[in-house]
Chain A
Amino acid sequence: MTEQVLEHQLKKYFAYDSFRPGQKEIIRNVLKGENVLGILPTGSGKSICYQLPARILPGITVVVSPLISLMMDQVKQLRATGFKEVVALNSFMDPAERKRVMNHLDAYKLIYISPELLQKAKILDSFKKQIISLLTVDEAHCISQWGHEFRPDYLKLDRVKRQLGNPPVLALSATATPEVQQDIVQHLAMNGCVRHVYPMDRENLSFLVQEAADDQAKQAMISEIAAEFHVPILIYFSSRNDAQEVASALADKLPDRRIAFYHGGMEQLDRISVQQQFMNSQLDLICCTSAFGMGIDKSDIRLVIHYHLPPQLESFIQEIGRAGRDGRRSVSLLLFSPKDMMLPKSFIQHELPHPKSIFTVFRQLKELFLAGGDLPHKEEETAQLFQLNEIQWRFLRQQLEKHGMIKGNRIFYNEAGWDDHCQAIKRQRDEREWLKESKLREMLEWIQEKGCLRRNLYKNFQASYRSVEKQCCSNCGFSFADWDPQPTARQEEASGSWEIKLKELLLS
């Protein structure tokens, strides 16, 4: 397909005039049926790389994605642009609706699916009957033990790929170190893989790291900054509660700013409202958790603040990548207080089973086996049975399956290997913990960095970076005093009576 034709298709289907860097190159290889690894920074339009091929290729494009809310957002956006042969399959779907979709797979061109669902024998069987033109693995770094978001379910994708008759694979990620990239290619057996790795450093971002004594100090700083700069601001928190509380504290201090919060625990209608209000410039500032921003394309976010320390550089890079997509000068501000150092540590504990509970689970499994019992059918119940949270159980389940100790909800006891398995799993757990802690250490080292923040932020991910003369980072002398962003145009606040508002809403 010639370049002109591709650009014409882009215009026709997505109303964009031109490709962003990397998109066209990746799409060209994908359309030739090659295996492609695409590392594109956040906000560069990764999804076009499979959405456009999905419209052109003869068969179905399957997209494996771990983020259910992102899937749904994308399906909504695609439907809004008129691409109706799109669907997202996930375990939260109404069973009847899912069955209906499964019976009509060939009616779709693009199918999003969660990794755990794609492994279900029944579902895989239905997919086997279809022509799969492209298997896209989104957030492909999840496949690597070295990645920051390792997901055991991703490890079985190589088998899925074989069962689907080895369709070409497009693996995409925004944050993958060279080691992780190697893991992805190897694990998905991407023979003759074409690699498109684009640098993730952003010249129009300036970095600020500032220490604050405590939460109060942080909030004082933020309200001062937000009062001075009337621009779209995003503030990331590691807990829903904090996002909510700080949002209302800021609203009190800054009565003329429109402030809201956003997190995964909100009712859907409220989530869409807040998200769209921000997109639509009805809001100035959002306090949010990491649930916000995936799949959102607001180009004029000027300032991204981290109220808490992210657990690793990867998520930090992803989140600041939402600032300044229009290319204008934007700022990332990370705040930390001495007590924050402990916070991510407790998250790590939350994600891995305690060594003692591994031992307990082994004992319980053996007892259950000898009593002729199975595990409960529901994951939540099993987790509860072992007094683990679901993340911890997911880790352990994958390990137990790997050692052939459980299959589905059946237990397979084998006295000879039992203790060895227990030791091996404990070692695995310790390795994970060590990895997560070293990720955290990287983050901590970065905030305590004396040299250029820009250089050191990207050094683990790519060989070089584009240096910036002015307004680089706090260590290179940048401060808010040097920043002069264009303020948001003041909008007439519709403060009239409901009668006026109703009339405006419906009749203008």
Chain B
Amino acid sequence: MLLEAVILTCNSHIKQDRTIAATYHVLTGKRSIQTLQDAHLYALESFFGTAKSLDKQVFDKKVDQLARENLLRQTAPSVYQVSSQGEEWLKHHSQQLPMAYFNGLACHEAGNLFAKRLLLLVQTLTNSQNNHFSFIPVVDHQDAENWVRQFYQANRFQENKLLPQLYKELYHLLKRFSDREAGMFVDRLTGYKNYGMSRFQLAEKYSLPEADVPLYLLAITHQMLTLLEEENTKYRVLTYIRSDLQQSPMLTNSAAITQRLLHQGNTISQIAAKRRLKENTIYDHVVEIALYDANFPTEHFMDRNTHLEIIHAINQKKTQKLKQLKEAVHDEISYFQIRLVLARTNRIKK
């Protein structure tokens, strides 16, 4: 049910501006400028990358099913609208679902790593507490492994204080969740001679569809990070686990290089030439940078009148659709300039 709710919510934000593929890309966290921009434009940041391993076929099947159940209505090829029945369904079910926990874009990488480190740390500490050092780690991830190793080396001498402290913190943190959510989290943990449940086993125990389990676990992780941010003094160990994890969204690599070259004073065409990329690609990067950079100098790319004209068109047409906006402004104004203004206004709105 969680997966359905997430798909419906995304689609209800996007309305009919985009095909259903846009929702899929937001959910799988596609690192393209278009998808990042969609996430900002339609206020779907919290859902960005929340279903990273969602299979396209599974997604398509879900959409078909939602359409059959009349929660989605197809209005054009690949374009869907949430029906009034669908809106009703969302309102009715959202309350029992952890929708508000999601913090996808901000926790994109951090959430994943935090969960892995925590799982491995619990397994390591509980095993070493029992003088058992040859266990198979449940998490096979280089960074998590390195981190736990360093942490363990540095804190070896207060080992017997660590577990009680971690227990206390987890207990208090989990008290902020429903019993069901806390149960799911605890069942996933692996300790000494006690391996945690697989997602299928969790699905069984909590009567959930299989596809919902990773979403629940991720939602819980995101909410944990949010709570830790708010009350970091209460949770020393847990806060330390996430302390070096970046919680701000990152530019795509390629856009980051463009940003550096921009700062060095290069023009768009110079950058394109240097990087052997098309100018349009560089324009895409600039729009992406504009989404994140609070001090982005819009005035470098258009004069004041152009800026005002585009804003006027946005307000008057009450749309975010590029084509309609392009038709509403002077011919000399480019798509790039319109996108740039859209990116900035959406930034400010928040």
Contacts and interface: CB of A to CB of B under 8 A. Distances in A.
Interface in B250-289: none
Mostly helix, strand, loop or mixed at chain A's interface? Answer: helix
B147 to A, nearest CB: 16
A276 B140 contact: no
Given A80-B135, A506-B167, A501 B53 contact: no
Contacts of A346: none
Interface residues of B toward A: which range? 35 or more
Contact of A266 (B138, B139, B198): B198
B198 A260 contact: yes
Most chain A CB within a 10 A radius of its CB, from B122, B163, B191: B191
Interface in B161-210: 163-164, 166-167, 170-171, 174, 179, 182-183, 185-187, 189-191, 193-201, 204
Mostly helix, strand, loop or mixed at chain B's interface? Answer: helix
B200 A260 contact: yes
B142 interface: yes
A77 B53 CA distance: 28
B198 A505 contact: no
A273 B135 contact: no
A160 to B, nearest CB: 29
B182 A498 contact: yes
A144 B190 CA distance: 43
A276 B138 contact: yes
A506 B136 contact: no
A269 interface: yes
B51 to A, nearest CB: 13
B190 A80 contact: no
Nearest to A271: B198
A276 B182 contact: no
B197 A506 contact: no
A506 B191 contact: yes
Nearest to B122: A506
A77 B133 CA distance: 11
A95 interface: no
B190 A273 contact: yes
A81 B134 contact: yes
A498 B138 contact: no
A210 B126 CA distance: 46
B249 interface: no
B170 A502 contact: yes
A269 B195 CA distance: 11
A94 B199 CA distance: 26
Given A80-B134, A498-B179, A506-B163, A261 B174 contact: no
Contact of B195 (A248, A277, A499, A501): A277
A226 interface: no
A416 interface: no
Given A502-B170, A506-B122, A506-B167, A272 B191 contact: no
Given A282-B194, A282-B195, A498-B174, 11 more contacts: A80-B135, A81-B134, A94-B142, A97-B142, A248-B204, A266-B198, A273-B201, A280-B195, A497-B179, A497-B183, A501-B183
10 contacts: A260-B201, A261-B200, A270-B200, A501-B183, A502-B167, A502-B186, A503-B171, A505-B126, A505-B191, A506-B166
